Structure 1
Amino acid sequence: MAKLYLIPTTLGDTTIERVLPPDLTHLISSIPVFIVENIRTARRFLKKVNPAIVIDDLTFFELNQHTEKKEISRFLEPNKEGLDIGIISEAGCPGVADPGAEVVKIAHTKNIQVVPMVGPSSILLALMASGMSGQNFAFNGYLPIKNPEKSLQIKMLEKRMQTEGQTQIFIETPYRNAQLLDELLKNCDPQTMLCIAADITLDTEFILSKPIAYWKTHIPDIQKRPAIFMIGKI
């Protein structure tokens, strides 16, 4: 029976061998149909996985914020013909902070077997390295862009962390990292622990957990770098 494979990708310009197991690279080479966020970057990734792949022999469906929901079900039609399908995110794991979840939801209604493959997740890697609770945590995605909504959300997440001991994880568009850090420093208690994890799995990787009071005098250069932010207890 044909399957739907969830294929993690590298988190940046790093080698395939560093983050993806050999079995996955062999599997990718055998899949004829892909659902991707961006066809151009997906093609580049596939060539990086296996330079011998003939890109023109593959079928691509593009899934992003511009895709109409009524089109998504059509992307799974090759499965009826016995063809395996792979979902490729722009970075990291499909279905996690990623539109691929919509495809997976439809696949379950059609009784298509969904197979998650091993690969890097910036969210989990950052949590592992933070020293914060991995028993009780929440991923909140993107915080509001503007105030007062952003500052209110930060205070709410901090209160949840304090009362429930729940690590709060969130992300930001890289070019707004500095603004988010500034809001965290303004709104959080000086003793609240903040972990900043940037460029995970890359040679420039930066992961550090310190109190808000520390960050106020040690501002890291994280602007335009993919980053994960966490507040919690250590």
Structure 2
Amino acid sequence: MSSSALILLPTALDPDSDPARSLPGPVLSKLHTLSHFVVEDAKSARAWLKRCAWPKPLPEALMLVWDEHTAQSEPQSKAVIRQVLAWLEAGVSVGLLSEAGLPAIADPGQALIAAVHAAGYPVRPQVGPSSLMLALMASGLNGQHFEFKGYLAAAGDARDAALIAMERLNAQDGRSLLWIETPYRNEAMMTSVTRVLKPETLLCVACALGTEKETIHVKTVAQWRQSAWTPGREPCVFILGSAMQSMHPRATARSGGDLSRHPTLKETRLAKPAGRRQGLKTHRRNHT
């Protein structure tokens, strides 16, 4: 088996931004070593390579297209997989390049990655931005137990039913429910949210993440009904949740038990002053 690998390459959430603002130096260095790519759109991929100061003439970048149509067409997907495996067999590493954020997360490419694993070649994910994780970490909602729902149904009644079902899941165990929407349907989504969800339910709307237009709001549905702000047609991540202090007992059990029974940092200092510093170091090593 050769030393080649499928390299999962993130891109900036804002394609017009400086790549160095959102991608670590080692990721850009890895990108510069590659000449064979699988991309969603060849034109935008070449534009991104140019922004990343790819060191070769752009026509020398060999690109296969894997988009939502490829994923739905067995003949097309098999053809791409055969070519990628041939490159890997020849000792050539291949980059799977996302249009924005992380490859294969709310993005095409899962079947290709699975095929590479099945053939015995390594898959190497690279560090980069994820709009889903950025939204969740900024929301103040449950980051211990969450679920991504992808796109909800476009039809009004089906969308309403999906929102109500997610609200019930949150009531059962406190999980956060994340989803995305085609930007031109943002207004219809907000209309459904404010019409069918309970007033006390929390909703985070995180728009244009990683760009200069970035906006993140967390409000109860009752507050959203009174709000004049709208997300417009910016790319958004929506998160339905509940306040941490009112989470269902099952949710607190998932994150280590009843939070009200955990000792405070002050109590920990009083109980174990000598071991405090080492204990914090161990905790960080295990959770970062």
- Please tell me the TM-score bracket, short chain as reference: over 0.9
Taking only the aligned residue pairs, the percentage that are identical comes to 32
Which residue of 1 is the match for residue 190 of structure 2? 181
Q: 1:9 aligns with which of 8, 11, 21?
A: 11
What secondary structure is seen at the aligned counterpart in 2 of 1:26? helix
Which residue of 2 is the match for residue 69 of structure 1? 77
Distance in 1 between residues matched to 2:27 and 2:111, nearest whole Å: 23
Aligned-partner residue type, residue 124 of structure 2: V
What secondary structure is seen at the aligned counterpart in 1 of 2:123? strand
Please report how far the alpha carbon of residue 186 of structure 1 lies from its aligned counterpart in structure 2 after TM superposition: 0.7
Please report how far the alpha carbon of residue 203 of structure 1 lies from its aligned counterpart in structure 2 after TM superposition: 1.1
Distance in 1 between residues matched to 2:54 and 2:96, nearest whole Å: 19
Which residue of 1 is the match for residue 33 of structure 2? 30
Which residue of 2 is the match for residue 135 of structure 1? 144
Matches within 5 A, 1:28-177: 28-50=31-53, 52-67=55-70, 68-76=76-84, 77-177=86-186
1:73-112 C-alpha deviation (Å, 9 max, x unpaired): 1231211111010001111100101111111111110111
Q: Is the 8 A contact 1:197 1:229 kept in 2?
A: yes
Distance in 2 between residues matched to 1:75 and 1:221, nearest whole Å: 45
Return the structure number with greater relative CO, CA threshold 8 A, min gap 6: 1
Please report how far the alpha carbon of residue 126 of structure 1 lies from its aligned counterpart in structure 2 after TM superposition: 0.4
Please report how far the alpha carbon of residue 51 of structure 1 lies from its aligned counterpart in structure 2 after TM superposition: 5.3
Which residue of 2 is the match for residue 21 of structure 1? 24
Q: Is the 8 A contact 1:197 1:205 kept in 2?
A: yes
Aligned-partner residue type, residue 101 of structure 2: G
Which residue of 2 is the match for residue 212 of structure 1? 221
Q: Is the 8 A contact 1:47 1:53 kept in 2?
A: no
* Residue segments in structure 2 that go unaligned for 5+ positions in a row: 71-75, 244-288
Q: How many residues align?
A: 234
Aligned-partner residue type, residue 75 of structure 1: Q
What secondary structure is seen at the aligned counterpart in 1 of 2:33? coil
Aligned-partner residue type, residue 217 of structure 1: Q
**Structure (1 or 2) with the greater helix fraction:** 2
Do residues 224 (structure 1) and 226 (structure 2) align?
no
The runs of at least 4 aligned residues of structure 1 exceeding 6 Å deviation read: none
Q: Is the 8 A contact 2:186 2:233 kept in 1?
A: yes
Aligned-partner residue type, residue 73 of structure 1: I
Distance in 1 between residues matched to 2:46 and 2:56, nearest whole Å: 10
Q: Is the 8 A contact 1:46 1:53 kept in 2?
A: no
Matches within 5 A, 1:191-210: 191-210=200-219
Please report how far the alpha carbon of residue 66 of structure 1 lies from its aligned counterpart in structure 2 after TM superposition: 2.2
Distance in 1 between residues matched to 2:106 and 2:67, nearest whole Å: 12
* Residue segments in structure 1 that go unaligned for 5+ positions in a row: none
* Bigger Cα Rg: 2
What secondary structure is seen at the aligned counterpart in 2 of 1:180? helix
Q: Is the 8 A contact 2:199 2:222 kept in 1?
A: yes
